[in-house]
Amino acid sequence: MLTSQRRREILRRVAEEGYVEARALAGDLAVDPSTIRRDLDALARARQITRVRGGARPAPSGAADVPYVVKQQERLHAKTAIAQAAAELVADGMSVVLDSGSTIYQVGLALRGRRGLTVVTNDLRTAKMLATVPDMRLLVSGGELLGSVYSLVGHAAETFVRDVAVDMAFLGADAIEVVAGITNTNSLEVPLKRAMMESAGTTVVCADSSKFGRRALVKVAALDEVGLVLTDTELPEHEAEPYGGVLRRVPLAEAPAPDPGDGDGEAVAVFA
């Protein structure tokens, strides 16, 4: 296992379990305890976790978010397929709000071919990528930067989103489960996600199959509060069935979409 893969797994466990023991991690990941200690120290320096005696717990924000650069490359085939299906729901001239996150970033990429769109987002990477798309009105919320995921959160962002009315909201999710519904690791993002839902005529949740059957720390919404949940066909049919008609599985894309929006773009207006 590569160092990046091992540290990603550590972050997942911290987020899901709240506390991880260094000795148990060493055994589970089949590495020397000194390797795990170095991993934990590196993650603590990056403010992704908090080191405690014998192990680690979530960072003070209450969530050990997987770094964006890691999320962006995970399950890219699935995210691309989901994004294409999401974009097919949007017609020229519509208005949409795009949540933060790597899956919704792919939705933004897929929407570049639409004409006359109005796009509202709190995600700085998505905003940068869409900034130079012609015939698109782009509105970016104000707020406080949540650095690990390059998004803006807080009262200013929530107020801004509540003051708009859009046709559709596209939300990401850290975990989805039949009873718990849609949940998130970071409590700071949840009020803004709720505001996005309130501002939209329809809410579409986009999440790859690895997010299902799990619960994260904070509830965002029940399944009956959203119009559609899009995932990929790697979620087995028997596991998808309890979610009912709200869930749609889409076939995997043949190849990941390129990201031409990763270069420098024009400045983006940020409204407080």
The domain spanning residue 99 has which CATH number? 3.40.50.1360
**For residue 209, is pLDDT > 80?**
yes
Give the pLDDT band (50/70/90) at residue 130: very high
Q: CB of 42 within 8 A of CB of 217? A: no
- The model's pTM is 0.71
52 and 78 inside one domain: no
Instruction: Give the pLDDT of residue 82.
Output: 97
Q: Which of 28-32, 72-76, 118-122, 130-134 has the highest mean pLDDT?
A: 118-122
How many structural domains comprise the chain? 2
Quick check: 186 pLDDT over 50?
yes
Residue 265: its pLDDT value, please? 39
Regarding whether 142 and 55 lie in a shared domain, the answer is: no
Instruction: Read off the pLDDT band of 148 (50, 70, 90).
Output: low
- Give the domain range for residue 251: 70-271
pLDDT category of residue 255 using cuts at 50, 70 and 90: very low
- The verdict on 45 and 153 lying in the same domain is no
Please check whether residues 18 and 152 belong to one and the same domain.
no
The reported pLDDT for the residue numbered 271 is: 41
Least confident of 38-42, 129-133, 267-271: 267-271
Domain shared by 79 and 120, yes or no: yes
Domain termination residue (choose one: 63, 85, 105): 63
pLDDT, one tens digit per residue, over 65-105 is 554 444 545 678 899 999 999 999 999 999 999 999 989 99
Q: CATH number for the domain including 15? A: 1.10.10.10
Same-domain status, 25 and 136: no
Residues 124-139 have a mean pLDDT of 94
Shared domain for 35 and 139, answered yes or no, is no
Q: Does 90 lie in the same domain as 53? A: no
pLDDT at residue 257 tops 60: no
Mean pLDDT over each residue of the chain, to the nearest integer: 87
Show which of 47, 63, 79 is a domain's final residue.
63
Shared-domain flag, residues 133 and 240: yes
> What is d(CA 137, CA 130) in angstroms, rounded to the nearest whole number?
9
For residue 228, what pLDDT band results from cuts at 50, 70 and 90?
very high
Specify burial of residue 140 (Cβ count, 10 A radius: 0-12, 13-18, 19+).
buried
The confidence score (pLDDT) of residue 147 equals: 66
